[in-house]
Every structure is written in C-alpha cells, then in structure tokens.
Amino acid sequence: MTLTVDNHVDLGPFNTLAVPARAKYFTQLDSLDQIDELIDFLSREQLPLLLLGGGSNVVLADDFSGLAVKLNLLGVNIQERGDQVLVSAMAGENWHALVEHCLSNNIYGLENLALIPGTVGAAPIQNIGAYGVELESVFHSLDAVDLKTGERKTFSKVDCQFGYRDSIFKNAAKDRYVITRVNLSLSKTPASDLRYPALQQALEGVEKVTPQAVFDAVCRVRASKLPDPKDIPNAGSFFKNPVIANSLFETLKQAHPEMPGYPQANDCTKLAAGWLIDQSGWKAKPVGRVQMHALQALVLTNPNCDSGQAILTLARAVQADILQRFGVTLEIEPRVYGCE
Ligand code: FAD
Ligand code: NAP
C-alpha cells in the first residue's frame, strides 16, 4: 500500500483539544509495509515529524511545518501460557477497547487503566497511569522502528526507562522511534490493585470486588469528573503532579495544613497539582475562551476550539501564579509542538 501525503491538513479532528492547527504535510500509516516509504520521505524532505495516535496528549501551539502521521496499525494477538497471558497489540489499537477486550476474555491487570483515551502505541510514551497502577507494572516489551535507520528494535522494560509519566521516549529517544507494537504481560488470575483511596471509596458497598467491578468503578468515577473530549475538548491532566523535597513540603504544610501530599522515594513528596490550581482560584475561571475544568482543576478545557496560543496563555498564567504562591513549578504534561 502506498503512502498518500496530503497538504495543509486541519489537525482539529486529530487532537482532543480540538486545536485547529494545520499540518504542511499529512499522511496515515495503515500498514507496517509503509514504514520504509515514510522513512524515505522524511529523509528526502528533511521534515520535522509529528506522530499522532489519538492526539489526546498533545498541544499544537501553531501550524505544524512538517509531516503529521496518524498511526492506524491494527491487530491484537493473545498467547496463553498457563496462568500468564502475553497480549500483543499494534500501536493504533484504541487503549480502552484493549482493556475491554482483555476483560471480556478473562484476562486481568488493566482494569485500573480503563477509559484512558488514546492508542496502545502512545501508552509507553508517558507510562500511562491511573488509580495507583502504571503501564510498567504490566509491560513486557515493545517493538519499534528507528526512523533514522529503519532498524527494527525491541525494547524491554528496562530499556524503556519508565518513570512517573515518563520514559526514554520523552528523553534520549524522543522523536527517534515509531512504536509499532506493545506486548503486555497479563494474568488469568484476578489481582486488582485496590490501594488507591478514591477507588476504594467507589467500591464501597460492592459485595464482590471482581475485575469487572473495578473496571466499572474506575469508569464511573472518571465519567463523573473528567470531561469527555467529544463534548468538551481537553487533553486530560494539563500539568504533572510536582514532586518536591520533603523539607519544602513541611514548610508548605505549615502555611497550608490541608495541603495533600503523597510520600515518594528519595525524601520527596508528590503534590496534587489540581489542588494547588483550585486553591489559587483558577478552577472554572475563563481566560479568553479557555479555562481549568470546574470538576477537576487539573484539566484545561477548550470548549470553543481555540488556538494553541490561547491554551498556552492560560497555562503560563497558572504556572506563574503557582510558582509565586507556593514556590512550586508546574510542568506541562502533554507534548507541546510548535514552540520547542
Ligand atoms: P498522542 O496524543 O497521539 O501522542 C502523545 C505523544 O506520543 C506524542 O508526542 C506522539 O508523537 C507520541 N506517540 C504517539 N503514538 C506513538 C507511537 N506509536 N510511536 C511513537 N510515538 C508515539 N494519561 C494518563 O497517563 N492517565 C490518565 O488517566 C489519563 N487520562 C486522560 C483523560 C482524558 C480525558 C484525556 C483527554 C487524556 C488523558 N490522559 C491520561 C492522557 C492521554 O490519554 C495518554 O497520555 C495517552 O496515552 C495518549 O495517547 P494518544 O494515542 O492520544 O497519544
Ligand atoms: P484524584 O483521585 O482526585 O487525586 C488527585 C491527585 O492526587 C491525583 O493526581 C493522584 O496522583 C494523587 N493521589 C490521590 N491519592 C493518592 C495516593 N493514595 N497515592 C498517591 N497519589 C495519590 O485524581 P483524579 O483527577 O480523579 O484522577 C484519578 C486518577 O486518574 C489519577 O491516578 C490520575 O493520575 C489519573 N488521571 C490522569 C490523567 C492524565 O491526563 N494524566 C487525567 C485524568 C485522570 P496520580 O495522578 O499520580 O495518581
């Protein structure tokens, strides 16, 4: 199948913030056979590249002067070895559909990660996490193609250098690889992680805590506070939760006794960025035509499909205010294209 490249394409439908930025070139990758052609095109034209799965973790600051590639590689393979199950999914598969597919086949381990938008191929990029579980806890390996050399490579868990909403693909290997397949190590035995307090609360009164009950609870809580991008465009949490030294946390706690903090390794504490934003009065406060969401202040919403610049104006104002009030730097979680 040959790659079709279009010009000046509106990326509005391809990012969940619905930013109407245009890509100079745009193509869709439907098959692994097209990757060599993609690499030839990139090296011939010397273009910046924007790989897009579901577009739920990107901010398009401006029009994109390079090639945007929507990744549509599809397919799921399941191999059972006794109680262990290796689930291999192609990068373009929808993440939530994969979670549902596993559950309906009595394959467990993904329940806490239900309803996260986007694709399987993007999941390792920021080591997606929710309700106390991160991708790395079920990750086996991934297949990728080096966009410079065309070399096919397999990354183990160690190779991926996973961290808190972080991996090698946001750092040393940024923009170097297209992830084509992700292999997950799951189980036929239910072993849901129920440590997260909001999840425990949502399961109160549930008689039998099955993986299906956990999945349902996660979906219920998420739907009650997170805006569906189809209704109100957003990219989920706009900032990472800052991790600060315990000494700074103790000082902050004296001034704000009710400030939540979660102990981390290396004498550090994780703060809830949403709490800081809420306390500072940004929740539901319109700035231009964008605002931090009324039900979860960490989510920046773009109801009128405004520009990336409008979004970044609000983000910078929030960052400056939080720094001034608390001495804490908020880092934007989605990848910003166009002003790096
Ligand atoms: P995209 O936005 O398309 O891409 C994100 C980045 O990954 C880009 O830099 C892109 O170039 C790169 N990329 C994508 N696919 C590939 C590939 N195959 N190979 C190489 N690079 C690639 N995140 C969480 O961690 N936990 C949550 O609970 C969560 N909840 C969310 C809720 C909402 C309502 C929304 C809108 C977002 C949420 N997110 C959450 C963020 C987002 O859904 C995840 O980060 C998701 O994994 C992004 O997938 P995507 O396919 O949309 O990635
Ligand atoms: P929440 O339960 O209201 O909690 C607020 C914040 O406190 C969360 O960000 C969470 O950090 C942290 N937290 C709460 N209890 C914790 C504990 N026992 N140990 C460590 N950290 C704790 O959060 P929410 O907004 O409804 O989101 C629920 C889950 O979905 C969270 O895990 C969140 O990360 C995830 N989510 C992520 C995105 C995204 O775009 N990245 C969007 C929506 C929801 P963590 O974020 O580190 O878990």
223 lines ligand 2 (CB under 6 A): no
Nearest residue to 23 via CA among 43, 3, 5? 5
Reply yes or no on whether the pLDDT at 53 is more than 80: yes
Q: How far apart are the first and last CA of the chain?
A: 34
165 part of the active site = yes
Is the per-residue pLDDT at 116 higher than 80?
yes
Residues 34-50, mean pLDDT to the nearest whole number = 94
Any atom of ligand 1 within 6 Å of the Cβ of 121:
yes
Q: Is the CB of 236 under 6 A from ligand 2?
A: yes
Q: Global pTM?
A: 0.97
Cα torsion 238, 244, 248, 252: sign: positive
Q: Is 147 in the pocket of ligand 1 (CB under 6 A)?
A: no
Q: Does the pLDDT at position 233 exceed 60? A: yes
Distance 45 CA to ligand 2 centre (A): 42
CB 27 within 8 A of CB 83: no
Q: What tens digit of pLDDT does each residue of 67-109 get? A: 999 999 999 999 999 999 999 999 999 999 999 999 999 999 9
Cβ distance 119 to 56 under 8 Å?
A: no
Choosing from 181, 237, 307, 335, the catalytic residue is 237
β-strands 177-187, 84-90: how paired? Answer: antiparallel
Longest dimension (CA), the chain: 63
Tokens (6 digits) for 112: 């806490």
pLDDT over 80 at 41, yes or no: yes
Extract the tokens encoding 330: 């908020």
Q: What gap in Å lies between CA 293 and CA 301, rounded to an integer?
A: 6
Mean pLDDT in residue range 96-124: 98
Total length of the chain: 340
CA of 163 to the centre of ligand 2 (A): 15
- For residue 255, count CB atoms less than 10 angstroms from its CB and return exposed for 0-12, middle for 13-18, buried for 19 or more: exposed
Compute the distance from residue 204 Cα to the ligand 1 centre, in Å: 30
Report strand pairing: 64-71 vs 49-52: parallel
Is residue 224 annotated as part of the catalytic site, yes or no? Answer: no
Q: What band does 339 get if pLDDT is binned at 50, 70 and 90? A: low
Contacts of 75 (CB under 8 A, 6+ apart): 89, 90, 93
Would the CB of 211 count as within 6 Å of ligand 1?
A: no
Ligand 2 atom at minimum distance from 195 CA: 18
Exposed, middle or buried, 142 (CB in 10 Å: 0-12/13-18/19+)? buried
What one-character DSSP code corresponds to residue 73?
A: -
Judge if the beta carbon of residue 198 lies within 6 A of ligand 2. yes
Q: 302: buried, middle or exposed (CB in 10 Å: 19+, 13-18, 0-12)? A: buried
pLDDT band at 338 (very low <50, low <70, confident <90, very high): confident
Long-range contacts formed by 196-202: CB under 8 A, 24+ apart:
196/112, 196/131, 196/132, 198/131, 199/112, 199/131, 199/132
Compute the CA torsion angle 118, 122, 126, 129 (nearest 10 deg). Answer: 50
Return the ligand 2 atom nearest residue 198 CA: 2
